[in-house]
Amino acid sequence: SYELTQPESLTVRPDATLTINCKVSYSVTSYNTGWIRQPAGKALEWIGVIWSDGDLYYKDSLKSKFSISRDTSSNTITLQGKNMQTEDTAVYYCARERAHSDTKHKQFFPKTS
């Protein structure tokens, strides 16, 4: 089993930057970890993923707003969102791919520098 731990709640002023740290119990160099959000009463929305090798992929419409990074020494994945607005109010989830990372399917996603 494994755990992903993030803050229960965060408040960000309009136009400010959101930072959410997700501390995980597994090695971030072995598994892909993604971020998802869900506004109240709406569907889940995929934000992006950081691959086990450090490559990044974002949903096209959100790639200018969010960035994902990691600290391999503390196994922490960080989501940053800039210029946050009321419409960005949501529950934000970090999530791990269930299987041990096999990056062969990365060919289906464009790399984000």
The Cα 75–Cα 109 span in angstroms is 24
CATH fold label, 4-99: Immunoglobulin-like (2.60.40)
The Cα 95–Cα 5 span in angstroms is 10
58 strand-pairing partners: 48
Q: Show me where the domains of the chain are located.
A: 4-99
The Cα 54–Cα 51 span in angstroms is 5
For Cα atoms 48, 52, 56, give the angle at the middle one, nearest 5 degrees: 35
| pLDDT, tens only, 91-101 | 999 999 877 66
Global pTM? 0.89
Both tokens of 98, joined, read 């269930």
Q: How confident is the model at residue 16 (pLDDT cuts 50, 70, 90)?
A: very high
62 strand-pairing partners: none
